[in-house]
Amino acid sequence: MFDELRGRVVLVTGGASGIGAGIVDAFLGEGSTVVSADLSAPEGGLLAGRDREWTLRLDVSDEAAVEAAVTAIDERFGPVDIVVTAAGTSTLGFAVETSGSDWDRNLDVNAKGSFLVAKHVAKRLVSAGRTGRIVFIASQAGKNGYRGMTAYVASKHAVLGVTKTMAVELAGHGITVNAICPGIIETPMKHRERIEGGAIRGMTAEEVADEDRSQVPLGRTGTPQDVAGVALFLASDLSSYMTGQGLNVTGGMTMH
């Protein structure tokens, strides 16, 4: 469908599960060479049966590790053409109970980690005089406030701020920078959030799941594939006149 993505080098952080894994599959389906970077990934190498996906163990909050990873990808495959920052974490807790360590964890992975990966990919693209695509995975939590998610909400607002600023700075180099703001997506992290969030609200995970579905105008929660389709669009030539945007993929929950 997106012929221009064939042969492109794509870096997906958080590619081992959830939204990131769905995005990895989508780019592989378009013929891209995909580097799936994740803190839980096996040591770097070719995955059996997947001749264009390479795994890379990476802590996105460690700038030296990020720079080394981008250099290694460049040396093996050539410059990264497209980066999708899907690595993320969350902790649950009301604002007055949020610890400094929980705050730091959310901001380090979700905000700083996304920024560092985009920074080092963009730096190489600019140095080489190449165009490219940066796609941040933010959240509708970057546009709204949610009970029990202070640190996570703050981190995703920060991602949207980085999106807008990098879009302005990189536009002259032909590099577009956009974000996807998923709503309620069925992933292992969402399942854990329902358990932990339900506990602090006196609800079961099943009750939270029912509440989730009731809030979506389209009548269902999302899948990683729903997000992956938008990532392909933002990486393709169809979105070449878009930059600095935060696109909602929420089934209608968020409309601004």
Q: What domains can you pick out in the chain, each with its CATH number?
A: 3-185+227-239 (3.40.50.720)
Q: Would you list the DSSP string of 91-140?
A: --B-GGG--HHHHHHHIIIIIIIHHHHHHHHHHHHHHHT--EEEEEE--G
Type of residue at 243: T
* Mean local confidence (pLDDT), 110-136: 98
Q: Which two tokens stand for residue 145?
A: 């406030």
Per-residue confidence (pLDDT) for residue 53, from 0 to 100: 83
Q: 110, 85 in Cβ contact below 8 A?
A: no
Point out the catalytic residue in the list 152, 167, 175, 182.
Answer: 152
Query: In what helix (H) or strand (E) does residue 75 lie, and over which residues does it extend?
Result: helix 63-77
28-66: per-residue pLDDT in tens?
999 999 999 999 876 655 444 456 788 899 999 999 999
172-198: per-residue pLDDT in tens?
999 999 999 999 999 999 999 999 988
Q: 29, 229 in Cβ contact below 8 A?
A: no
Per-residue confidence (pLDDT) for residue 26, from 0 to 100: 97
Q: 172, 116 in Cβ contact below 8 A?
A: no
241 belongs to the catalytic site: no
Closest alpha carbon to 148 in 208, 195, 200: 200
Q: Give the Cα separation of 47 and 198 in Å (integer).
A: 37
143-168: per-residue pLDDT in tens?
999 999 999 999 999 999 999 999 99
